Amino acid sequence: MIRFIRKMFTWFTLLFAMAAFGYFVVLPKVLPVKYKEQVEKYANLYDVEQSLIYAVIFCESRFDPNAHSRAGAKGLMQVTPETGWWVASRLDNIDAETMDLEDPEISIAVGTWYLQWLDEKFHGVQPTVLAAYNAGHGKISQWLADKSYSEDGYHLEEIPFPETDTYVKKVEFVQKLYEICYGM
């Protein structure tokens, strides 16, 4: 019996060590929590879930502040200069003329405000908000007005751009991972 207890203790200790290694070493590399101060600040300021901000950053730039897209989007949250200027013109703390979207503070501030604005515009329907973040709010408004894409004008039954459809599913999946793994 003592032999069995020792064996179980050894297995339990090994399992615990593996879980701890996974949580403290592997998880932060696979699903990082970088720019925590900025994410917390703007999540609270604009009432956007931290897990959503992290998921957007993860999917948009993989936490690379110097990331650029083919469409000209820049920074952690991949905001286009046009959207950045438009958002900055509505914020007191960012100068639209001198802003640098590759600055993590600016990128997170602008991207998070824009997510909050889209959330209000699209009545809190997160898949619609994410589709607008990816494809543009004008395009999403067109889709919502088209009965073949939206029966109620709020929810998209079908997203006609495969890239946008994949983006929405990916961000929502990654957001769930952040919620589960970090208790957000």
Residue 102 one-letter amino acid: E
* Domain 33-182 CATH (choose: 1.20.140.10, 1.10.530.10, 3.40.718.10, 1.10.3720.10): 1.10.530.10
Residue 40 one-letter amino acid: E
* Cα within 13 Å of Cα(179), Cβ side: 8
Residue 73 has pLDDT above 90, yes or no: yes
What are 74's strand-pairing partners? 68, 79
Q: What is the mean pLDDT of residues 2-10?
A: 69
Q: How far is CA 90 from the centre of its chain?
A: 22
Sign of CA dihedral 64, 69, 73, 74: positive
* Inter-CA distances, 180 with 3, 82, 168, Å: 37, 35, 18
- Domain boundaries defined on the chain: 1-30, 33-182
Secondary structure, 3-state, 3-17 = HHHHHHHHHHHHHHH
* Cα within 13 Å of Cα(119), Cβ side: 14
Q: Which residues are CB-contacts of 177 (< 8 A; sequence separation ≥ 6)?
A: 31, 55
Q: What is the mean pLDDT of residues 10-27?
A: 54
pLDDT digits (tens, 9 = 90+) for 81-139: 999 999 999 998 888 888 999 999 999 999 999 999 999 999 999 999 999 999 999 99
User: What is the per-residue pLDDT for 27?
Assistant: 52
Q: What is the pTM of this model?
A: 0.88
pLDDT digits (tens, 9 = 90+) for 127-179: 999 999 999 999 999 999 999 999 999 999 999 999 999 999 999 999 999 99
